[in-house]
Amino acid sequence: MKVKDSLQEAAAWFALLSADQQERVQRDVSFTQYPAGAMIERKGEKAYAWLGVLSGLVKVSVGTSDGKLASLTGVPAGGWIGEGSLLKSERRKYDVVALRESTIIRLPVATFDWLLDISIPFNRYLLHQLNERVAQFIGKAEYDRLLAPDARVARCLAELFNPLLYPCKTMRLDITQEEIGYLARISRQRTNQALRTLEAAQLLKVEYGAVQVLNLDGLKHYGL
CATH of the domain at 45: 2.60.120.10
Same domain, yes or no: 120 and 155 = no
Q: What is the pLDDT of residue 162?
A: 81
Query: How big is the CA angle at 97 (ends 198 and 68), to the nearest 5 degrees?
Result: 80
- Tens of pLDDT, residues 156-172: 898 888 878 887 678 88
Same domain, yes or no: 73 and 36 = yes
Task: Report residue 70's pLDDT band, with 50, 70 and 90 as the boundaries.
Answer: low
Residue-range definition of the domain harbouring residue 194: 148-221
Measured CA to CA, the distance from residue 31 to residue 27 in angstroms comes to: 12
> Which sign does the torsion angle of CA 151, 41, 77, 82 carry?
positive
Per-residue burial over 138-155, b = 16 or more CB atoms within 10 Å of its CB, e = otherwise: eebeebeeebebbbbbbb
The single-letter code of the amino acid at 128 is H
Same domain, yes or no: 83 and 181 = no
CB 108 within 8 A of CB 28: yes
In a domain, 138, yes or no: no
Strand-by-strand arrangement of the 102-108 sheet = 30-34, 102-108, 49-55, 80-81
Same domain, yes or no: 87 and 127 = yes
Mention every residue, 6+ apart, whose C-beta is less than 8 A from residue 12.
78, 125, 167
Same domain, yes or no: 46 and 113 = yes
Domain count, the chain: 2
Q: What is the pLDDT of residue 141?
A: 64
Same domain, yes or no: 37 and 119 = yes
- Tens of pLDDT, residues 114-152: 999 999 999 999 999 998 888 777 766 666 666 788 988
**pTM for the whole structure:** 0.84
Domain boundary among 104, 132, 160: 132
Task: Report residue 21's pLDDT band, with 50, 70 and 90 as the boundaries.
Answer: very high
Same domain, yes or no: 178 and 126 = no
Domain boundary among 107, 132, 157: 132
Measured CA to CA, the distance from residue 168 to residue 60 in angstroms comes to: 19
In a domain, 17, yes or no: yes
Same domain, yes or no: 172 and 106 = no
Measured CA to CA, the distance from residue 198 to residue 67 in angstroms comes to: 32
In a domain, 137, yes or no: no
Measured CA to CA, the distance from residue 23 to residue 196 in angstroms comes to: 47
